[in-house]
Each structure stands twice: as C-alpha cells, then as structure tokens.
Amino acid sequence: MTKAKTLRRWRPLQIGIIGTGHMGGMLARAFAQTATDDIYIYNRSRPKADAVAASFPNIIVCDDWRSLIARANTAFLCTKAADGINLATQMAPYLNSEHMLVTTISTIDLDRWRDLTPATPVKLIPSLTQTANKGVMLLSYPRHMPVELQQQLESRLSQIGKPFTIDEGQVRVCSDLASCGPAFLATICRAWSQAAAQTASVDRATAEQLIREMLIGLAALLESGMQFEDVIEQISIPGGVTECGIRSMEDLPQNLFARVHAETARHATRGHRPPIGDSVVSPRQ
Ligand SMILES: NC(=O)c1ccc[n+]([C@@H]2O[C@H](COP(=O)([O-])OP(=O)(O)OC[C@H]3O[C@@H](n4cnc5c(N)ncnc54)[C@H](OP(=O)(O)O)[C@@H]3O)[C@@H](O)[C@H]2O)c1
C-alpha cells in the first residue's frame, strides 16, 4: 500500500513591502485595495511610505525592516539593485526558508539571491497595468520551490493582475511585452494621433480620443476571446480600405519590434543595467 502524500501546510501569506517607490508604492496600493488584510510597508525615507499609506487604513508603516519581517512572511523587495543586495545581506540572519523574498529587482539572478538569503527568492516583474488590477505580472521561481507555496503566492497576486510564470532566461523579452509594452504601444498611438492631425481633417485631441476609445474596444474584444488574427480578418475585407492600409505597413511593424527587442537586450547587458520596464511606472508620489 502506498503512503498518502501529505501536503505541507504553509502559513497564510502576510505581505510586507520594502521600498515604496514606483513599483513598491503601486503594489502596496493594489494589495490594499483588493483585500482587507493588513499590508506592512517600509521605506528608507519615511514620508514616501506615509504618503502611500495615507488613503488606506490597512496599510501599516513600519519603522524599520526588522519590524516588517517580524510581521510579514512574504516580503516584496522593491528597491534598486544595490540597495536590495545590502538589505538582503542585512536581513539574512532574520529570515528562513519559510519566508518568501519576492523582488522586482530583475537584474540579479535567482541563484545569486539564493546565496544572499535563506528566504525563498522569487522574481516578480509587475506592470503599470496593475494600477487598474489588470495585466500580466511575470514570475520566475527558483528550482525546487514547493508548488503549494507558488500557488499561494499566485492566488494573492491574481487579485491585482494576471500572474504568468516564465523561466529566468525569458525575463528580458517577456518584460518588453508585458511591462514595457504599454509604453511602447502608447508611443505608437501618440505618433498615430500626430499623423492623423497632420492630415488636417481632425485635431490631435480628437485623434487621441478616438484612438483611446478604439483601444478600449479592442481590449474588450480580446478579453471576450478574439485573437489578433480574428480581429484582422473580420475588419479587413479583401480589396477594402483596411486591407490597403495594412498592405502599406509592409514589414514595418515586425522590423520595428525586432529593433526594440534588440535595443532593450543590448541595454540590459551593458555594465549598468536599467530597470526592466522602467518606462512604465505608477504615478509619482
Ligand atoms: N519602474 C518600473 O517600471 C520597474 C519595472 C520592473 C522592475 N523594476 C525594478 O524594481 C525596482 C524598484 O524600481 P522603482 O522604479 O520602484 O524604484 P524607485 O522608485 O527608486 O523606488 C525604490 C525605493 O526603494 C527605497 N529604498 C532604497 N533603499 C532602501 C532601504 N535600504 N530600505 C528601505 N527602502 C529603501 C527608496 O527610498 P528613498 O525614498 O529613500 O529613495 C525608494 O522609495 C528596481 O530594482 C527596478 O529595476 C522597476
């Protein structure tokens, strides 16, 4: 007779956020909005944390990281890389494998985090879209991380966005799509509104309004299950004006994004690496 496999019971997630800048501040607000449990936050300069907590009774500002990790078993580390390494080193004696250290610092490998901390490290690449509790949040797990723990984390994250697991090696390109993507598309839409205004048939504000409403409609179609191909096929009638417009694009869109991916990859491998998705940030405090 085979022994029934016993699933380990993990403690409920208690969320803490260290570094309440653009990413940490956005995550704190999103978590606080979507559940009533307390969210603990700590920032080096206290006023920034106080500003994030101001509108949320369930955000509690801690005096230091020690008091945060005494309360929170899932600490989101949302500082710049050098600050994060210093913090992880200082925190190491106070953490164990039952703590999760979820970090938005994508430029440091999970193996390096494992050397720095006894906590279970997880990489998280959020997107500005989580401000609206939408959009993908990319996750990379270390090898052998218990599935139950992953499920527990994803269950909480799914309240503020769509968790999507990737391998660490996929982080750069996937971040371009999910995290930088809204800024890339907004740049294209802004240029489109300028081009429309140059026809002298509409002013730029009207063009922007029409593009915005069109995008909201397109998002709803995609949400209802339509694929990109369906959208193209249903609008582009053979010989019609849409088909003519698409033909005029030739291979420009593909070449454009090939160039974007090449540039972001080149930038990320330079000596000082930029924040992934640094073009998409939550409103500044
Ligand atoms: N921005 C994005 O779109 C984006 C997207 C994906 C990933 N990331 C990554 O996420 C990380 C955070 O990015 P961000 O844009 O949110 O940066 P940010 O706005 O500069 O925020 C970093 C925060 O960390 C705080 N901090 C620094 N050292 C600290 C310490 N020892 N203890 C407590 N708090 C400390 C800073 O506090 P002070 O107020 O004292 O400076 C600041 O509020 C970066 O590693 C970035 O590469 C960013």
Amino acid at 73: N
Q: What is the CATH number of the domain that holds 50?
A: 3.40.50.720
Would residue 87 count as lying in a domain? yes
> In angstroms, what is the span from residue 78 Cα to ligand 1's centroid?
5
Is the domain of 19 the same as that of 124?
A: yes
Pocket-testing residue among 22, 91, 175, 282, ligand 1, by greatest number of atoms within 8 A of Cβ: 22
Cβ neighbours for 104, distance < 8 A, ≥ 6 positions apart: 23, 24, 27, 76, 77, 78, 124, 125, 126
The tally of domains found in the chain comes to 2
Quote the CA–CA distance of 130 and 23 in Å, as a whole number: 10
Would residue 273 count as lying in a domain? no
Would residue 276 count as lying in a domain? no
CA 206 centroid distance within chain: 31
Q: What pLDDT was estimated at residue 277?
A: 52
Minimal-distance CA residue to ligand 1 atom 26: 19
Q: What pLDDT was estimated at residue 6?
A: 44
Of 105, 138, 165, the residue at which a domain comes to its end is 165
Is the domain of 161 the same as that of 193?
A: no
Is the domain of 181 the same as that of 74?
A: no
> In angstroms, what is the span from residue 178 Cα to ligand 1's centroid?
19
Q: What pLDDT was estimated at residue 272?
A: 46
Domain of residue 24 covers 15-165
Minimal-distance CA residue to ligand 1 atom 29: 44
Is the domain of 150 the same as that of 58?
A: yes
Each residue's pLDDT, cut to its tens digit, for the chain (285 residues) gives 334 444 455 678 999 999 999 999 999 999 999 988 999 999 999 999 999 999 999 999 999 999 999 999 999 999 999 999 999 999 999 999 889 999 999 889 999 999 999 999 999 999 999 999 999 999 999 998 999 999 999 999 999 999 999 999 999 999 999 999 999 999 999 999 999 999 999 999 999 999 999 999 999 999 999 999 999 999 999 999 999 999 999 999 999 999 999 999 998 887 444 444 553 333 332
Q: Which residues surround ligand 1 with Cβ inside 6 Å?
A: 18-24, 42-45, 48, 78-81, 83, 87, 104-106, 125, 179, 275-278, 280-281
Q: What pLDDT was estimated at residue 268?
A: 84
> In angstroms, what is the span from residue 228 Cα to ligand 1's centroid?
35
Closest C-alpha among 102, 114, 97 to residue 78: 102
Q: What pLDDT was estimated at residue 269?
A: 82
Is the domain of 60 the same as that of 182?
A: no
Of 113, 146, 165, the residue at which a domain comes to its end is 165
Is the domain of 110 the same as that of 233?
A: no
Is the domain of 46 the same as that of 157?
A: yes
